[in-house]
Structure 1
Amino acid sequence: MDDYINTALTQKHSYDWQLKILMLTWEYPPHVVGGLSRHVYGLSAQLAQLGHEVHVITAGNGGLTSNEKVNGVHVHRIIPLNNQDDNFLSWIAGLNLAMSYKGVKIAEDIKFDIVHAHDWLVGTSAVTLKEEMSIPLLTTIHATEHGRNIGIHTDMQQFIHNKEKKLIMESDQIIVCSTYMREELLTNFRLAEKKLEIVPNGIEPSTVEVNSNEIYPFIKHRKYVFSVGRMVKEKGFETIIEAAQLAKENQRDIYFVIAGKGPMLERYRKMVSERQLDYFIAFIGYVSDEQRNALLVNSEIAVFPSLYEPFGIVALEAMILGKPTIVSDTGGLKGIIMDKQTGLLMNPGDAESLLSNIDFLSQNLDKAKEIGETGRRVVKSLYGWKRVASQTVKVMEETMLNKRVNVNDNPR
């Protein structure tokens, strides 16, 4: 065993290495599609704060600065080849070609220690850069096509599933955000358990500087239950619509405010209109992080009724503000919430279960306050970005060490 490995063995749990990390992600603020963007932003900024050199390659649009340093992170925005192509898969192919080229150019001046990829969308470039630089590849899998669709049913889904499989197989180590995701990958991709590490998503305390009543006057004199998320089927918002329907039929004064954008937003708004539920539920569309936090602070209860949720950072965003939070008893959400201690668990897709939990909190205000405060303390303790980034560094160091050991054990 050479001197490099001896040194690594003594350092691998001390976080003394100053790593040079190349991170690949298709979305990065201010380009935000879902939770992946916020995760990579929080992680990369904290890694830089810990003293590591972090370079993020991500998609640009021509209107954003192509190269800049933000919170200590070197951000490189590239324009995908086929940028104007309406075919998403062609666009992704062009994104990966441009990412690969950019990564090789940056590596002319910087000797990177590891590539860290986020989901299949950057998988082709991640594998290419791993091979070009002869360095290990660490991949974080945030969600899977199989999980989102409860199986693989179409050619498009099969294509994405195959891309996920190739990236997972080519990666030296995989990070997932929850025990639920670990089991999902073990079941659907049949990889070795030792190749998987669990590192949760992170969050920092939020500040609220605006009043939601001023932004949305229609809620000024009403108590409301709040939810936010991407408008897609797996987030379970139809369950809230069904709960609003039951509230109307039973003449109960419950008002749901739901924020977020996505392909099903207009469909949900149409369902609300057709059922004449405007007094009971409102889909308000896109909100900024600041507006989301203001809406959370002024709400009575937060609800996240997902049918599929690998982790559920939106729940942490509510809990860290001290809100009593109801989540589906599924996926990563059930790993975050201890029922009636840090939040409440509802049956997925069950509107009556949701209403029952709302009733419990509404009728037990002291308990609701206690649950909110306990949730806030637990989230602050377990899910801070410094802790998450330190865990990620440990995985990176061990991935590098294992790669070097394997090279020495199997010389060409």
Structure 2
Amino acid sequence: MKVLMFGWEFPPHISGGLGTACYGLTKGLAEYKDVEVIFVVPKAHGDEDQSSMKLLGANEIPITRKKVQFRDLQKKIDYYEVESGMVPYMDPEEFWKLSSKKYSEKTRFVETDEDGRLEFSGTYGNDLLHEIYKYSLVAEVIARDQEFDLIHAHDWLAYPAGIAAKEASGKPLVIHVHATDFDRSGGSVNPQVFDIEQRGMRAADKIITVSNMTRRIVIEKYGIDPAKITTVYNAVEPISREEKVRLKKGVEDKIVTFLGRITMQKGPEYFVEAANLVLKRMKNVRFVMAGSGDMMNRMVKRAAELKISDNFHFTGFLKGDDVFDMFRMSDVFVMPSVSEPFGIVPLEAMQTNVPVIISNQSGVAEILKYAVKTDYWDVHAMADAIYGLLNYPGMWNMFMKHGKKEVDMLQWKNSARNVRDVYYEALKIE
């Protein structure tokens, strides 16, 4: 079975858990000899690990198929004729010359380079919706060129690409819901994003959600038939013994860490308020907020207002080895998310022998037994949990030891087996 898989990011070029999950899943699927993955991203950099799959960058795919001589132009333009009509152009002047001609209402104009390729930033910039649209155009071309049995699209950014590939090939579509705009926005959904998400869900033959919490949102908020939705929990990559060794902190104080996007969804303000409560009871502790996001300045200001800045540190965005270095220096990890579809980061912390405190409003709370759980808004309970783990060695050791054993059982090959089962259902193969 050959799977054409569309994502938006892939390690080492990631900004969150989506790329990490895609990497883990493709490695897990590589364990099964009957599954082969072609993974597509908007922009390939060339340094991605392709040991478990073949990686294609949409930025490397020419969308042209034949030479057409346009009147008023000195050079030939590569032109790929899609059913609705797509006219590539290479500069603004060329666009205006082309757009002055008569075309059907369905004609699409897209800018290409000299080789007929589209440019992609591969990031989450202001032009994101336009990049998503261009990605779907390239997906259409890829679907006509590649041999595959099934399409798998990760998150809303890739749903239009998955739909385009399905329409071009007639092959079944599986979408993977890692989050919804209800999680990201706290309920104030972006109508354009909601529309993309709902169209993807309706077009899909099967839907994978990362938790039962997310499954309920898909059913209740998007009106999707429960029968085509399967929950498959995320996992973590095993780490070596050397990676588990704790680093020397350079300070004698205890360290409590928040690591993630500093946005409303992740609940950073509750971490700051809990830190303030803990610091009223003990002084030999430092709080670290690792990450970046639109609430960063507010959190810096709030820490200053509370007069805890001497014990509260901001590292900025961390990735790769820096993430594990931070964990290895930490005594407690806290994820106070307001709405977390799953949450891989606590699993990574537990791998490095760090006890974790997570919100009841996270999908990962459904499967973890040896994690302290509080409501995100209950900063007093969160502060009590932090204080308890820092001051009672028996409690700390129990959560560290059993948590490590628990997370070691959560392997991507097991999640991949469940995803593979969904593939067979979509293909109607027993």
TM exceeding 0.5: yes
In structure 2, distance between residues paired with 1:35 and 1:69: 17
Instruction: Identify the range of structure 1 (305-314 vs 223-232) with the bigger mean alpha-carbon deviation.
Output: 223-232
8 Å contact 2:155–2:177 — kept in the other structure? yes
Matched, 1:195 2:228: yes
In structure 2, distance between residues paired with 1:266 and 1:333: 28
In structure 2, distance between residues paired with 1:204 and 1:244: 30
Could you tell me which of 5, 11, 22 is aligned with 1:29? Answer: 11
Higher alpha-carbon Rg: 2
Where in structure 2 are there 5+ consecutive unaligned residues? 60-116
- CA-atom RMSD in angstroms: 2.4
Could you tell me which of 363, 380, 384 is aligned with 2:408? Answer: 380
Equivalent residue letter for 2:260 = G
Alpha-carbon offset, residue 86 of structure 1? 4.0
Alpha-carbon offset, residue 358 of structure 1? 1.2
8 Å contact 1:235–1:304 — kept in the other structure? yes
| Map 1:6-405 → 2, pairs under 5 A | 19-51=1-33, 52-60=35-43, 64-65=45-46, 70-79=50-59, 81=118, 83=120, 86-105=126-145, 107=146, 111-152=147-188, 157-207=190-240, 209=243, 220-250=251-281, 252-338=283-369, 342-381=370-409, 383-401=410-428
8 Å contact 2:266–2:335 — kept in the other structure? yes
Cα distance change of structure 1 residues 73 and 275 upon mapping to structure 2, 3 Å threshold: same
In structure 2, distance between residues paired with 1:287 and 1:150: 25
In structure 1, distance between residues paired with 2:302 and 2:175: 39
In structure 1, distance between residues paired with 2:139 and 2:168: 13
1:15-44 C-alpha deviation (Å, 9 max, x unpaired)? xxxx10110011112220211101111111
Cα distance change of structure 1 residues 72 and 331 upon mapping to structure 2, 3 Å threshold: closer
Cα distance change of structure 1 residues 164 and 366 upon mapping to structure 2, 3 Å threshold: same
In structure 2, distance between residues paired with 1:298 and 1:147: 30
Equivalent residue letter for 2:272 = I
1:320-349 C-alpha deviation (Å, 9 max, x unpaired)? 2232111111131321333xxx01112212
Equivalent residue letter for 2:38 = H
In structure 1, distance between residues paired with 2:119 and 2:10: 20
Cα distance change of structure 1 residues 81 and 349 upon mapping to structure 2, 3 Å threshold: farther
In structure 2, distance between residues paired with 1:257 and 1:316: 18
In structure 1, distance between residues paired with 2:391 and 2:269: 25
* Partner-residue secondary structure (3-state), 2:195: helix
* Count of residue pairs the alignment pairs up: 368
8 Å contact 1:205–1:321 — kept in the other structure? no
Cα distance change of structure 1 residues 263 and 177 upon mapping to structure 2, 3 Å threshold: same
In structure 2, distance between residues paired with 1:348 and 1:271: 18
Equivalent residue letter for 1:307 = V
Alpha-carbon offset, residue 277 of structure 1? 2.1
8 Å contact 1:223–1:300 — kept in the other structure? yes
TM-score normalised to structure 2 length: 0.79
In structure 2, distance between residues paired with 1:360 and 1:321: 20
* Partner-residue secondary structure (3-state), 2:12: coil
